[in-house]
Amino acid sequence: MKTFVFGIAQRLYAFSFLLIATMVVLAVLAWNQLSNVEAIAQSTGKVRVQQLQRIASTELSMSQMGFWVREAMLAREKATRDAALGQLETLKRVVDANDAAFMNDTPPAARAAFGIWGALENEYWPLQDGLVKLIKAEQLDGARAYQVEKTVPTRARLTKWLGEERKRQEDILTSELADVVAAAAKTRGELVVLSAFIAAGLMAFAFY
């Protein structure tokens, strides 16, 4: 009975096959890991960062509304007062645009939290309209009382929600960035291990 012995050619073919298979595994693992990193990075850049920018823009707009209301109430001339009140309309358009963009980029399953914001807005905008009417009618004492009792507390709840949502988005962003770092580290480790395996195989074949 003849015993099969690996010759040089057979060993070369076998090692070449093993080397090619290992490199294919290396390429597939690297592709999968880097695809995950790319997907997380795209989500972070296109959704999370922009959501935080919109929240910051809305927070700024709500803060500026308080300033322009104050300016309108202090104005001595009608033109100055109307210009200040006009700023309120401009800022509301900014908030509305941010709302639309925020909803567009939020998955349906995650929109429940946004419903709280919508309810607060539905409460606040009519109150602000009522305040504007009092200011235009130059009923400043009534406007101050109305502001203290109604618009300021409601706007405070709006800004509180914005702060909480910003914190939530920041936490998610931190988690996503940690996932990117972890995926990159895992890919690096896999590449090092498989590269070392290939190098060891080449050295073993050279001395065999």
Give the integer Cα–Cα distance in Å for 117 and 46. Answer: 22
Neighbouring residues of 187: CB distance < 8 A, sequence distance ≥ 6: 29, 30, 33, 34, 37
* pLDDT value of position 43: 65
* pLDDT value of position 208: 59
Task: Say whether pLDDT at 55 is over 70.
Answer: yes
Neighbouring residues of 70: CB distance < 8 A, sequence distance ≥ 6: none
Q: How many residues does the chain have?
A: 208
Cα angle: 84, vertex 131, 92; to 5 degrees? 55
Task: Say whether pLDDT at 19 is over 70.
Answer: yes
Task: Say whether pLDDT at 1 is over 60.
Answer: no
* pLDDT value of position 81: 93
For 125, the token pair is: 């905008």
- Among residues of the chain, what percentage have pLDDT more than 90? 38
Q: What is the CA radius of gyration of the chain?
A: 31
pLDDT digits (tens, 9 = 90+) for 155-194: 999 999 999 988 988 888 888 888 877 877 777 777 777 7
Neighbouring residues of 18: CB distance < 8 A, sequence distance ≥ 6: 201
For 135, the token pair is: 């200011």
Chain mean pLDDT for the chain:
82
* pLDDT value of position 3: 52
* pLDDT value of position 129: 94
- Among residues of the chain, what percentage have pLDDT more than 70? 82
Number of Cβ within 10 Å of residue 146's Cβ equals: 18
Q: Which amino acid is at 102?
A: F
- 8 Å CB contact between 6 and 14: yes
Q: Looking at 45-54, 97-106, 128-137, which range is the least confident one?
A: 45-54
Of the two residues 150 and 3, the one the predictor is more confident about is 150
pTM of the model: 0.69
Neighbouring residues of 125: CB distance < 8 A, sequence distance ≥ 6: 92
The residue-averaged pLDDT of 203-208 equals: 65
Q: Looking at 54-58, 103-107, 179-183, 201-205, which range is the least confident one?
A: 201-205
* pLDDT value of position 189: 78
Q: Which amino acid is at 86?
A: G
The residue-averaged pLDDT of 106-113 equals: 68
